[in-house]
Each structure stands twice: as C-alpha cells, then as structure tokens.
Amino acid sequence: MHFLYYALLTVVCWGTYGVCMHAGSSNMGDKENGRIMAFLWVGLAYFLTAVVAPLIILKLKGGNVAFWAYPTKGWQWSLFAGTLGAIGALGVLLAFGKMPSPAYVPVIMSIIFAGAPIVNAIVSTTKEGNWAFVKVPFVAGICMAALIGFFFYKNQKKNQLLAKQKQLLEVAVDEKNVLLKETHHRVKNSFQIVSSLLYLQSENLQDSDAQKALQEAQNRVRSMVLIHQKLYSKEQLIGIDTEEYLTDLVKDILESHQDASQQIHSEIHIDPLVLDIETITPLGLIVNELVTNVLKHAFTTSENNMQLDLKLQKKETILVLEVQDNGKGMPSEIKESSFGIQLIKSLAKKLKGQLTYSKNRPQGTIARLEIHRYNEL
C-alpha cells in the first residue's frame, strides 16, 4: 500500500504546482519578464530535484552515475520526456500570462490535468500498438471528455463576452447618471433664479394682491425646485421619497406664510412611497395649492388651536390624498374660475384624479383627491 503514499504525494504536488507557479510569476514585480524569471527558478528547482537528488540517491545505493554507460535509447527518451515537461511548464506560464484574471488559474489547471491523461492514453496506446484492445467505452469516454472541454471553452468565451458587455453597460449607466444628475442640478438652479426674480419683483410692488399673486407663483416654482434638489442630492435619480418631499414642501409653505402659520399645528401622515418625477411634480403642485388655500381662507388670525393635516395613502390600486383643516369651513360656492382651482383640476386630470370637498367634523374642510394614474418605483 506504500505506492498510495507516493501517488498522493504526486497528486498534492501537481495539484498545487500551477497555483504556486502563478503566485511566483505575479510576485516578480515585472509583468513582462516575471514569467520568464519564474520559469528560470522552476528550472533551478528541476535541476535540484531531478539532477542533484537522483545523483545523491544513486551514489548512496552504489549505482553507476555515468549516464553514457546506460543504453542510448533509454537516456534519449528520458531527455526528451524532460524537455516535454519543461515545455509544458513554460506553456502553463504562458497560459497564465494570457488569462483575463487570476480567477482563471483553477480553470487552466483543470484543463491541463483533465487533458493530459487523455493525451497520455492516446500516445501510449499508439506507441505500443494496442488499439485493437481498446474498448468502445474508453473511446466514448475520451470523446465525451473532449466535448465537455469544448463546451466548457465556449461557455467561458461567452461568459467573457457577457462580462465585457456588463462592464461597458455599467460605464454607460454611470455616465448617464452623471449627466442626469447634472441636468437636475441645472434645472434646480434655473428654477431658483425664477423664484428669486419673482421675489424681487414682489418686493417692488405696492399692490398687495399683486404681491400675493407673485408669492403664490414663487411657492409653485419652489415646489418644483425641491423635486430637482432631492433628485440631485440622492442616489435615486428618477424617483422621489414622497414622505420626505411632502414633509419638506409643507414646511416651506408654512414658513412662507409666517403670519398665518405661526399658530398652526400640522400633522403629516405619508405612506412609504417612491414616485417618479412624472407623478410627484403635479402631486407637489396640487399639495401646494391645497395647503395655500387652507392658509389663505380657512382661518382668521384670532383663532386658536388651528390644525392642518396632510395624508397620502395607498389604497389597493389608487393613491388617496387628503388635506384637512379645522377652520371655518368651505363657502357655499367655490370659485371654479380661480387660477388655483383651475390649476388643481388640470393637474388632477393628468393623474386621472377626482378632487372632492367635504365638511370636516366638527368643523373645517376635507379636500380629497383620488389618484388613479401614478408610477411607483
């Protein structure tokens, strides 16, 4: 059974041969010449183990160390075998030099150690003239191994192509994201300039109604500025965190109506939703109009415990937006011709929404919008 120990020794040494050779060549510090230098050290190891060690063993056993004393055919074949072994070692190094990544080391060594026994069987059978004794299963096994190797190679080539395409796609996506982010940044800056111009214009007006109209226009622009600001500052370039956006929007609206909002208590309840820009833009403008209407018409400055509630919930296939207040309640007739109402209706139509007003209990108004068209990400 001692032969098994030597066989296992060979398996371990040959199994780790390629890995160690790759480690040696890659740590030479010279990508071009490192493989050749590694091969030189492999040759030195061959000399020590295949020349020096056998000479010592022969001496210890009292054998003849003069190779010329042996039959010429014997040492010629042995020399040829050593040359083939050295060329094989060089081939391994050259294969390592051409592989796409270090992950291919096991692949290369598997091909070598799977293919070498097949070549060995074919050459030895041919040399000895024993093809007549070869059984069909043996030939079938060789053909099967060759087919497996071929398909394995084709699969590797396909994987390489897919990996390259994936890399190119990732680069293209990164470039697109950079451009998209820059676009959001520029749009945000443009809106901010418009908002600033409206503010400066309102400061120079004496007419209070005109000032209020410009302030309302400024708030509408600000609702869109906030969208592009969040798209620019987040990794998500095509969607908006609705809860964060609407909370900040309502806060901005209240701050812009400081006199009316100082005593107003607000509560905001938003379901965790990420909506695309085509949905969040009209939704933000609608919220701006509804909240502004509450601040303008629902309360008098002398009232206490003023309450404003905003809710956005997903109910089955629709979104439901509700803006509630506990103010004096809605008038008997709503001015359908006002710009704000016309804007809300136009935006609601884009979302396939239906806006209704009802009385809040015990007092106040509820504006309810059911949204049927939206894109959730």
The pLDDT tens digits for 173-211 are 777 767 766 776 677 777 778 878 777 887 778 887 787
- 121-125, 200-204, 345-349: which is most confident: 345-349
pLDDT of residue 2: 63
pLDDT of residue 234: 66
Residue 117: which pLDDT band, with cuts at 50, 70 and 90?
confident
Residue 367: which pLDDT band, with cuts at 50, 70 and 90?
very high
pLDDT of residue 309: 93
**Does the pLDDT at position 50 exceed 70?**
yes
**Does the pLDDT at position 315 exceed 60?**
yes
**Does the pLDDT at position 259 exceed 70?**
no
Q: What is the average per-residue pLDDT within 57-74? A: 77
Secondary structure (3-state) at 1:
coil
Of all helices (H) and strands (E), which one includes residue 352? none
Q: How does DSSP classify residue 376?
A: B
- pLDDT per residue over 150-161, tens digit each? 777 778 778 878
Q: Which ranges of 204-241 would DSSP assign to H, the alpha helix? A: 208-233
pLDDT of residue 59: 80
Residues 215 and 201: their CA atoms lie apart, in Å, by: 10
Q: What is the average per-residue pLDDT within 67-91? A: 78
**Does the pLDDT at position 349 exceed 80?**
yes
pLDDT of residue 148: 76
pLDDT of residue 60: 83
Of all residues in the chain, the percent with pLDDT exceeding 90 is 13
pLDDT of residue 330: 76
Residue 352: which pLDDT band, with cuts at 50, 70 and 90?
very high
Could you tell me the CA-to-CA distances from 104 to 21, 87, 161 in Å, in that order? 14, 20, 15
Assess contact for 215 and 256: CB atoms under 8 A.
yes
Residues 304 and 283: their CA atoms lie apart, in Å, by: 30
**Does the pLDDT at position 1 exceed 60?**
no
Residues 6+ apart with CB under 8 A from 222: 191, 195, 252, 256
Q: What is the average per-residue pLDDT within 9-19? A: 75
- 15-19, 88-92, 113-117, 183-187: which is most confident: 88-92
Residues 166 and 169: their CA atoms lie apart, in Å, by: 5
Q: Of 250, 198, 185, which Cα lies nearest the Cα of 223?
A: 250
pLDDT of residue 6: 72
Residue 142 tokens, joined: 């060789």
pLDDT of residue 332: 67
pTM of the shown model: 0.54
**Does the pLDDT at position 347 exceed 70?**
yes
**Does the pLDDT at position 26 exceed 60?**
yes
Q: What is the average per-residue pLDDT within 133-140? A: 69
Q: Of 91, 3, 7, 13, which Cα lies nearest the Cα of 45?
A: 13
Q: How far is CA 194 from the centre of its chain?
A: 36
Residue 313: which pLDDT band, with cuts at 50, 70 and 90?
very high
Could you list the beta-strand ranges (E) of the chain.
239-241, 264-270, 274-276, 306-315, 318-325, 353-359, 365-371
pLDDT of residue 286: 92
- pLDDT per residue over 261-304, tens digit each? 457 888 999 999 999 888 988 999 999 889 988 888 888 766 67
Q: What is the average per-residue pLDDT within 315-343? A: 84
Q: What is the average per-residue pLDDT within 239-251? A: 88
Residue 319: which pLDDT band, with cuts at 50, 70 and 90?
very high
| Mean of per-residue pLDDT scores for the chain | 80
Of all residues in the chain, the percent with pLDDT exceeding 70 is 88
Residues 65 and 51: their CA atoms lie apart, in Å, by: 11
